[in-house]
A and B are shown apart, each in its own frame.
Chain A
Amino acid sequence: MIEVALALRMEKIGKAFPGVQALSEVDLEVGQGEVHAIVGENGAGKSTLMKILAGVYQPDAGSIHLNGVEVVLQSPLEAKRQGIRMVYQELNLVPDLSVSENIALGRIPKKRGLVDRARMDADARGVLSELQTKIVPSMIVGDLTVSQQQLVEIAKAYASEPKIIVLDEPTSSLSEHETQALFRVIRRMSSAGVSVIYISHRLREVIDIADTVTVIRDGRRIDTQSIDGVTVEKMISLMVGRQLDEVFPKKKVPIGDTILEVKNVSVPGRCEDVSFTVRAGEIVGLAGLVGAGRTEVAQAIFGLRRYSRGQVIVGGVSTHITRPRKGIKAGIAYVPEDRKTEGIIPSESIRNNISLAVLPSLQRAGFIERRKEKELAQQKAHELGVSPPLIERLANTLSGGNQQKVVLAKWLAAKPTVLILDEPTRGVDVGAKADIHTIIGELAAQGVGILMISSELPEILAVSDRIYVLHEGRVTEEIARSDASEERVMRAATGGGLS
């Protein structure tokens, strides 16, 4: 192992920002063709370290060696020139261009000054087939699914013949199935000698794909280990610096009457004949692959999307919900999947965010009753443990986990009887995740019926009392907590549930 050439050696990297030491003496060694995972809570310093590698930040201390040669990466361009490629969570593709154009972007092959389209397509086809994907180069990127776009993004990085590819949370929007496809691509790249640095919150996947894992906490490297013998629990305890007995605490709660009944709901092209029930105090998991129609069902129930057929019965009353305002009146709250685009109002205060959905009940003759609003915001921020608990602070100054708590607070202010949570813990760190699960448990204890969509199987299994699985817009299985296993959910999600 020692003789394997080191593609990258970062030595005693230090970086300070005004008032804070972001990184201190961090070492990172990545061998050629190695898949090296970096894990740590949000704010641990992973991103700062990667931005130094990408030439975005300059380190205050330490050195970087590529293949044994010391380099100074003074700009992103220089880092690229040295063969370092980043694939970020936010995709950087041009949606209106074709796959091959996107892959070639920045180094388009030319013939007599004009674009050499034939070569561009051939190059793209070569890369895509080398990575064993089934994406057609002539397709328009905007028409692809998110997971396919991600593969295009990776193909684009790979096509430039890099030495090191950094993947930042590549699976956060992928289903299990798509994740496996991504892993095949990663293994291909690794066997072609490309080193892959893999940043993820999904520790189980880290064990599946990585050769080595480095844990970072509070700007320091805590440990680097070969993946053999590392467990999820071990990683978590290194990340948080304490032993977490249970990652997903589950509270025993008495379950009441049916509070939400969805009967044969159809959204054209998205879901067909979906029926299920949620009872008071019950946490119902809605599992399925990305694109199975889970979000669409949730949006239809809440009024963000029209349904063509079917019935939604809330608390025994059948209501046709066509707008979110009606959904709220019926007692439904929907915490959307993507808090950045659908959850938070970034340039507004925590107070204004929390009160937004219930302003009609806080007003007199169109004027907002500010004292009432303030009390509500303070109370909800306190209940959910928003940190810092300063309600006049702007939402965009908060961390991801705290933004999610603010969005939750907004919906709890509406006092829902049915709470729909769409990927409530995506992209939040381990600590905030546990907080959010605790909050969900407490709400159930108060008698709220909860419908939770999640792509993380361990989360679904740990939190749900019952699980419905969607496959291609249809409910394929209903599984009781006691009968649930990852295998069974996956089978139903991939269409093999009903035999």
Chain B
Amino acid sequence: MTEAMPPVPVPVASRVLAQSGLTRVRGWIGLPAGVVLVLIVGSILSDKFLSVSNLTNVLISMSIVGLIVVGMTFVFISRGLADLSVPATVGLGGILVLGLQPSLGSLVAGIVGVLAAAVAGFINGGLIGWARVNPVIATLAVGTIVLGVAQAFVGGVIVYGTDTATQDFINSRILGGVPVIVLIFLSVAALGHILLSRTTIGRYTYAVGSNPAASEASAVPVKFTRAFAFLLTGALGGFAGVILGLSLQTARPTLGIGYEFDAITAVVVGGVSLLGGVGSIPRAMSGLLFVQLLTNIMVLQGVPSPVQGIAKGAMIAGAVALDVYLRRRGGTQ
């Protein structure tokens, strides 16, 4: 039926209002309201919470996963489900930068690390975009292979780095106390936001996620757009691994485990739709901030980590359920 509701002219307006109301509600999930709420709750529970040093620590701790969130947002919006090869690309980046450091120096080794991870992302993209393999399966398989390669490269043990100068720089604070690592994260997030909101590939990402068939018929390069999201996530995973490796000067193949889950949690809680077509980098970032602040409160309150895990899991399930519910109510399905 083409008429969802009744007659002109009043109904058109009211129908639109009802919808944008729902859209607005959705925009608020994990967004300012949630963040402000967490800030209030946190400050009531602990007087340490609102201190500059605590909040700076929260920012530092979200910087590495924040890099991955940028890529994962593209994956979600393009209806690519999720990239589960993140632990492998992070591990690859960390191992390569430290393993190649003695011969190439940190900068070149880092570039190699990012490129190698980008290749893994490219393979993901090829399998998903052109061979139409399910993204979950493709990224799991590629991730397993990449991790195997990384392990073979270092023989399964820890790699140690010796570049303390770079390590100190990454862990330092500049511009009157801003941690370098946070600066890196914020720059990448800003670039990601511009890429998604202002460029053609960004627009294609939304179109492909919202309606692949219509995109195809409108000459949108659907396969390339899908693949691009995974290429980007692979490269950013590698970059996260490189930064992590340089800041720790140690890396093992398991370096990246858990980052995929944290990134997915942030994106989902931020209200970026798993069903594609809806979301933005700022939204994903507020989701990340929300989760990190909540985790911080739990840590300050001495909540045991198993309970923290349960809370995070519940948040994912709840956010996805809410997204699906709102979509149905909004009639966008």
Contact = CB atoms under 8 A, between A and B. Distances in A.
Contact of B6 (A48, A342, A359): A48
B11 interface: yes
B203 A368 contact: yes
B131 interface: no
B319 to A, nearest CB: 18
Given A43-B8, A218-B7, A347-B278, 7 more contacts: A18-B14, A169-B1, A342-B216, A345-B277, A347-B210, A356-B203, A387-B12
Interface in A342-366: 342-348, 352, 355-357, 359-360, 363, 366
A345 B219 contact: no
A334 B3 contact: no
The listed residue with most A CB atoms (<10 A of its CB), out of B19, B215, B218, B278, is B218
Interface of B: 1-8, 10-20, 23, 198-201, 203-204, 206-207, 210-211, 213-221, 277-278, 330-332
A328 B7 CA distance: 38
A447 interface: no
Contacts of A33: none
A20 B10 contact: yes
Interface string A24-66: 0000000000000000001111111010000000000000000
A229 interface: no
Interface string A417-449: 000000000011100000000000000000000
Given A47-B3, A366-B200, A22 B214 contact: no
A243 interface: no
Interface in A280-323: 304, 323
B219 A324 contact: yes
The listed residue with most B CB atoms (<10 A of its CB), out of A23, A42, A217, is A42
Interface string A196-237: 000000000000000000000111000000000000000000
Contacts of A327: 219
B214 A47 contact: no
B217 A346 contact: no
A48 B7 CA distance: 10
A19 B215 contact: no
Nearest to B1: A47
A22 B332 contact: no
Given A20-B7, A47-B1, A366-B199, A325 B219 contact: yes
B200 A345 contact: no
A111 to B, nearest CB: 38
Contacts of B331: 396
Interface of A: 15, 17-23, 42-48, 50, 88-89, 168-169, 217-219, 304, 323-325, 327-328, 334, 336, 341-348, 352, 355-357, 359-360, 363, 366-368, 370, 387-388, 393-394, 396-397, 399-400, 410, 427-429
Contacts of B3: 42-48, 399
A397 B331 CA distance: 9
Given A342-B213, A348-B277, A427-B2, A17 B14 contact: yes
Contacts of B4: 47
B1 A168 contact: yes
The listed residue with most A CB atoms (<10 A of its CB), out of B8, B18, B332, is B8
Contacts, number: 152
B16 A397 contact: yes
Given A368-B199, A388-B12, A341 B214 contact: yes
Contacts of A348: 206-207, 210, 277
Contacts of A328: 219
A192 B211 CA distance: 44
A464 B263 CA distance: 56
Contacts of A218: 7-8
Contacts of A429: 2
22 contacts: A20-B14, A22-B5, A46-B1, A168-B1, A219-B6, A304-B217, A325-B219, A325-B221, A342-B217, A343-B214, A344-B214, A345-B206, A347-B332, A348-B207, A356-B220, A357-B219, A363-B200, A366-B200, A387-B12, A396-B331, A397-B16, A399-B3
A18 B15 CA distance: 9
A20 B331 CA distance: 19
Contact of A367 (B10, B199, B217): B199
Nearest to A334: B217
Contacts of A325: 219, 221
A17 B7 contact: no
A156 B252 CA distance: 61
Given A18-B14, A88-B1, A345-B211, A43 B217 contact: no
B6 A23 contact: yes
B14 to A, nearest CB: 4
Contacts of B5: 17, 20, 22, 43, 48
Contacts of A46: 1, 3
Contacts of B2: 42, 47, 399-400, 427-429
A343 B332 CA distance: 15
B73 to A, nearest CB: 15
Nearest to B206: A348
B228 to A, nearest CB: 12
Nearest to A362: B200
Given A43-B6, A44-B7, A352-B203, A89 B1 contact: yes
B10 A393 contact: no
B277 A396 contact: no
Given A20-B10, A20-B14, A336 B332 contact: no
Q: Across the A-B interface, give the 9 residue pairs with the lowest CB-CB distance, nearest first.
A: A22-B6, A19-B14, A324-B219, A400-B2, A20-B11, A347-B277, A47-B1, A325-B219, A357-B218
B201 A366 contact: yes
Contacts of B210: 345-348
Contacts of B8: 43, 218
The listed residue with most B CB atoms (<10 A of its CB), out of A88, A348, A366, is A348
